[in-house]
């Protein structure tokens, strides 16, 4: 960054700036843990010398905080993939289960937005398709923060909900499904070739809340990449030009992901899985009735605090999957 010509090419600086942010975050985390450990050591010595039980307890609490910080730092270090430090684009789609599935998709959207908020990550809604009666058919949003993709990619798959349906007057248990797909955001300095002749771009009137503007103008944009069949759309902005830019951003991310998976010969596992969004393909089950439990089928981890999970407490599952991958 000290080079005189560094700022002459803004499109090339983004990656460097994000890398600096990531490294600064790591160094800052190490320094913070070191300072906290030193403070706890001093407090413990003083407490022992003076027989101050309160100081000893405070030192113990600080040590627990340091231990938790070290665990978080170790998990960050496990995310060593090339794309793990990048921002992410997350798509949620309702599956089998009708209105209940659409309501479940909206619950998942809230869960992930709460997790992002708790981590201090910034999010931006790129596309939101509301359900006819309740919930959402699909949602796509971007997430910016250190290792956003590295963590959120662990959530990719089918999620299953079991509960008494609030949309069924008979009060019977209902099973709903929704899928989560996660893509690394392609940096501007990463070459993703998109030929204009390979695109079909349609504009249409945005649906849902939006006031008079939505009713009078065709601002929503849908982009079809003909060679791959990938379709992306955006209708969250009032400007057609802005919606097109955001749709192209999502397309770039998906094409980048496609190429990466081709290189790894694992396209069927990590990109647009052909598994049906229904029975037998879920990575996690959320049971609200007749008992309460969330179970991750990949690592056989069971958590009884379902509401805590739905409020964004996903760390135990993410940590479990990461640790299992290191075995």
pLDDT in tens, 75-113: 777 887 888 988 999 999 999 778 999 999 999 999 999
Q: How confident is the model over 126-134, as a mean pLDDT?
A: 89
> Are 131 and 171 found together in one domain?
yes
Domain boundary, last residue among 264, 283, 313: 264
In a domain, 83, yes or no: no
Pairing of strands 230-234, 282-287: unpaired
> Are 137 and 32 found together in one domain?
no
pTM assigned to the model: 0.71
pLDDT, residue 125, reads 93
pLDDT band at 133 (very low <50, low <70, confident <90, very high): confident
pLDDT, residue 216, reads 53
In a domain, 275, yes or no: yes
- Choice between 246 and 293, residue whose per-residue pLDDT is larger: 293
> Are 45 and 163 found together in one domain?
no
Q: How confident is the model over 153-178, as a mean pLDDT?
A: 89
Phi/psi for 173 (5° steps) reads: -70, 145
pLDDT, residue 171, reads 74
- Give the CATH number for residue 104: 3.30.70.1660
In a domain, 1, yes or no: no
- Choice between 205 and 271, residue whose per-residue pLDDT is larger: 205
- Choice between 34 and 207, residue whose per-residue pLDDT is larger: 34
Residues 6+ apart with CB under 8 A from 297: 282, 283, 284, 285
Query: How far apart, in Å, are the Cα atoms of 172 and each of 76, 163, 168, 178, 221?
Result: 43, 8, 7, 20, 40
> Are 151 and 108 found together in one domain?
yes
273-277-281-286 Cα dihedral, nearest 10 degrees: 130
Residue 160 contacts residue 286 (beta carbons within 8 Å): yes
Lowest mean pLDDT among 41-50, 185-194, 206-215: 206-215
> Are 171 and 122 found together in one domain?
yes
pLDDT, residue 135, reads 92
> Are 92 and 141 found together in one domain?
yes
Q: Pull the structure tokens for residue 20.
A: 């600096």
Query: Is residue 210 pLDDT above 70, yes or no?
Result: no
Q: What is the overall mean pLDDT for the chain? A: 84
> Are 175 and 274 found together in one domain?
yes
- Give the CATH number for residue 247: 3.30.160.20
Q: How confident is the model over 62-86, as a mean pLDDT?
A: 85
Q: How confident is the model over 304-308, as a mean pLDDT?
A: 95
Domain boundary, last residue among 224, 246, 264: 264
In a domain, 214, yes or no: yes
In a domain, 319, yes or no: yes
Q: Pull the structure tokens for residue 145.
A: 């923060």
pLDDT band at 248 (very low <50, low <70, confident <90, very high): confident
Domain boundary, last residue among 60, 78, 96: 78
> Are 53 and 173 found together in one domain?
no
In a domain, 147, yes or no: yes
pLDDT, residue 235, reads 85
In a domain, 274, yes or no: yes
Query: How far apart, in Å, are the Cα atoms of 236 and each of 92, 139, 207?
Result: 16, 11, 10
pLDDT band at 327 (very low <50, low <70, confident <90, very high): low
> Are 101 and 182 found together in one domain?
yes
In a domain, 191, yes or no: no
Cross-strand partners of 296: 284, 301
pLDDT, residue 136, reads 93
Question: What is the count of structural domains for the chain?
Answer: 3
Q: How confident is the model over 199-218, as a mean pLDDT?
A: 65
> Are 96 and 155 found together in one domain?
yes
> Are 169 and 146 found together in one domain?
yes
pLDDT, residue 285, reads 96
Task: Please give the Cα distance from 127 to 131 (Å, whole number).
Answer: 13
Burial environment of residue 102 by CB neighbours within 10 A (0 to 12, 13 to 18, 19 or more): buried
pLDDT, residue 208, reads 58
Q: How confident is the model over 253-260, as a mean pLDDT?
A: 83
- Choice between 293 and 238, residue whose per-residue pLDDT is larger: 293
pLDDT band at 170 (very low <50, low <70, confident <90, very high): confident
List the domain range (segments joined by +) for residue 200: 196-264
Lowest mean pLDDT among 2-16, 115-129, 200-214, 263-277: 263-277
- Choice between 261 and 136, residue whose per-residue pLDDT is larger: 136
> Are 73 and 203 found together in one domain?
no
pLDDT, residue 278, reads 55
């Amino acid at each position: 960054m000290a080079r005189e010509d560094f700022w002459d090419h803004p499109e090339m600086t983004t990656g460097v700036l994000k890398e600096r942010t990531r490294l600064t975050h790591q160094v800052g985390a190490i320094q913070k843990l070191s300072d906290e450990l030193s403070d706890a050591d001093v407090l413990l010595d003083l407490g022992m010398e003076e027989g101050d039980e309160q100081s000893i307890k405070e030192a113990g609490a600080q040590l627990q905080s340091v231990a938790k910080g070290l665990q978080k730092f170790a998990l960050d270090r496990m995310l060593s993939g090339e794309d793990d430090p990048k921002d992410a684009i997350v798509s949620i789609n309702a599956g089998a289960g009708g209105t209940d599935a659409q309501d479940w998709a909206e619950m998942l959207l809230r869960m992930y937005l709460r997790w992002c908020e708790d981590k201090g990550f910034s999010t931006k809604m790129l596309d939101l398709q509301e359900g006819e009666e309740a919930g959402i058919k699909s949602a796509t949003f971007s997430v910016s923060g250190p290792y956003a993709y590295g963590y959120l990619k662990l959530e990719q798959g089918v999620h299953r909900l079991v509960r008494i349906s609030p949309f069924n007057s008979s009060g019977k248990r209902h099973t709903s499904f929704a899928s989560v797909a996660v893509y690394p955001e392609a940096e501007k300095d990463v070459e993703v070739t998109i030929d204009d002749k390979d695109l079909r771009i349609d504009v249409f009137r945005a649906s849902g809340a939006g006031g008079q503007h939505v009713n009078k103008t065709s601002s929503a944009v849908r982009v079809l990449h003909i060679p791959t069949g990938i379709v992306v759309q955006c209708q969250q902005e009032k400007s057609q030009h802005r919606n097109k830019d955001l749709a192209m951003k999502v397309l770039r991310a998906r094409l980048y992901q496609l190429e990466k998976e081709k290189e790894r010969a694992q396209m069927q596992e990590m990109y647009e899985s052909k598994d049906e969004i229904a029975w037998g393909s879920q990575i996690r089950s959320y049971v609200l009735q007749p008992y309460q439990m969330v179970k991750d089928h990949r690592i056989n981890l069971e958590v009884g605090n379902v509401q805590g999970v739905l409020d964004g407490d996903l760390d135990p599952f993410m940590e479990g999957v990461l640790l299992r991958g290191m075995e």
